[in-house]
Structure 1
Amino acid sequence: MNNVKLKTSWQKILENEFKKPYFIDLMSFINNEYRTKKVCPSKDDIFRCFNFFDFENTTLVILGQDPYHVPQMADGLSFSTRLNIKPKSLMNMFNELKTDLNITRTNCDLSDIASQNVLLLNTCLTVLENKPLSHANKGWEIFTDNIIKEIDCNLKNVIFLLMGNNAISKEALIVNNKQFIIKTSHPSPFSCHISFKNSKVFSKINNLLLSMNKSIIFW
């Protein structure tokens, strides 16, 4: 699996991780899971979020937890799905988008957003079907923490959208004061009401981008 080939400059960064002992152990475990069990997303989509733009162009990081565990729903991008089914968290994000910017979005495939230099990253990149968090604490968190650190160390003026306690816990990795952090509760039905609903998070992101003379995100 670590022979993955990307069309972007993320390839070099991922290759550095692939050589590390923790990642070799992780891939041994993950490869065995794919051989013997049903795993989401498909193998070809595990690193899909890194294939839409070059590392140095990263504008926004939206951090999720782990992929959808419903069969065929996960597509390698956090919160996104190619299925014509609206997951509840994504539905709440679309509701906020309507309230905030009066944009009605129906397409659950977020690849158009990813292509605007947005890293749709989960803290774990795989999960067993119907078993949420089943691949937590296997090594994926080390990998994604290192990705966040790489962005923080080498880039500036990157916006990090951290939704929910799991994502907010990653704030400690972002030490460069040239970055921007937006925190809300998770958009799931269980916590959306705490601070995600009516947060105007999408206009906040676009206003930050405008203040940096960057292109806004077309949500």
Structure 2
Amino acid sequence: MAPDGLPDALGAWRALPFFDTDWPAIRDRLAAEDRVILPPDHLRFAALEAAQPGAVRAVILGQDPYPTPGHAHGLAFSAEADVRPLPRSLTNIYKEMQADIGAAPDSADLRFWARQGVLLLNTALSVPAGSAGGHAKLGWDRLTRQVLERLSDRPRAFLLWGGHAQSFRPWITGPDHLVLASAHPSPLSARRGFFGSRPFSSVNKWLTARGEAPIHWAQAEAT
């Protein structure tokens, strides 16, 4: 971890203006918190570390980290492999995947998606334990906007689940992207348009039409 509190593995993302203009104030606010903040500091930017800009082929926007201690590890919708039962939104994601492509992962850990170029980005990168949405107004949204602008440089797939994620649509610019908007996989809304949306096969159909390899959504490709 560098003296500014940022991991060395941020790589090309470090060039975003956010890290000079906004991060210092957010870092100080986090340091002043007397509550437990999730995920742990060293995992805060894990999604960006795991998928550098040039490698990103698809983006899935989440809202904020899981507020249950031991769940969040820095990637949207993902959790540690030993988490049982699965978080409810992830359970619904797997239900839709099973219906869509006939298979789903056997654990909550989606880091193998990131290794294939899927950026699993929450629009807030911190949350007080037990207080979902507690850092929604901390200023993280400015990072999300800049990430989307940065990734608008060439065609990519963007999955916007729910109204919150869809509110960032204006920062996806340029032609030829695949933008899939549907209801959120939360138990409160999954039946209002997430189930039946077939996002996983749609992304792979788009990628293969472009001559790119499909994403192995259900399990890591054997090597």
- TM norm structure 2: 0.90
Instruction: Please state if 1:133 is matched with 2:121.
Output: no
State the AA in 2 paired with 1:75: H
- TM norm structure 1: 0.92
8 Å contact from structure 1 (residues 158, 180) kept in 2 = yes
8 Å contact from structure 2 (residues 18, 142) kept in 1 = no
Match of 2:97 in 1: 97
- Measure, in 2, the Cα distance between the counterparts of 1:29 and 1:151: 28
Give the superposition deviation at 1:209.
0.5
Provide the aligned C-alpha RMSD in A: 1.5
Give the superposition deviation at 1:25.
1.4
Residues 6, 215 of structure 1: CA spacing in aligned structure 2 closer, same or farther, 3 A cutoff? farther
Q: Which runs of 5+ in 2 are unaligned?
A: 218-223
Deviations 1:68-94 (A, max 9, x none): 001111110000000422001000000
Residues 28, 7 of structure 1: CA spacing in aligned structure 2 closer, same or farther, 3 A cutoff? closer
8 Å contact from structure 1 (residues 163, 186) kept in 2 = yes
Give the superposition deviation at 1:59.
0.3
> 5-14 or 61-70, which moves further after superposition?
5-14
Match of 1:66 in 2: 64
8 Å contact from structure 1 (residues 9, 55) kept in 2 = no
Deviations 1:25-77 (A, max 9, x none): 111111222xx210110111000011223311210000000000011111100
Match of 2:160 in 1: 162
Give the superposition deviation at 1:11.
4.3
Identity of aligned residues (%): 30
SS across alignment from 2:167: helix
Aligned residues: 213
Q: Which runs of 5+ in 1 are unaligned?
A: none
Deviations 1:105-161 (A, max 9, x none): 211100001111111000000000110111011111111111111211xx2111110
Give the superposition deviation at 1:102.
0.4
Instruction: Please state if 1:52 is matched with 2:53.
Output: no
Match of 1:88 in 2: 88
Match of 2:74 in 1: 76
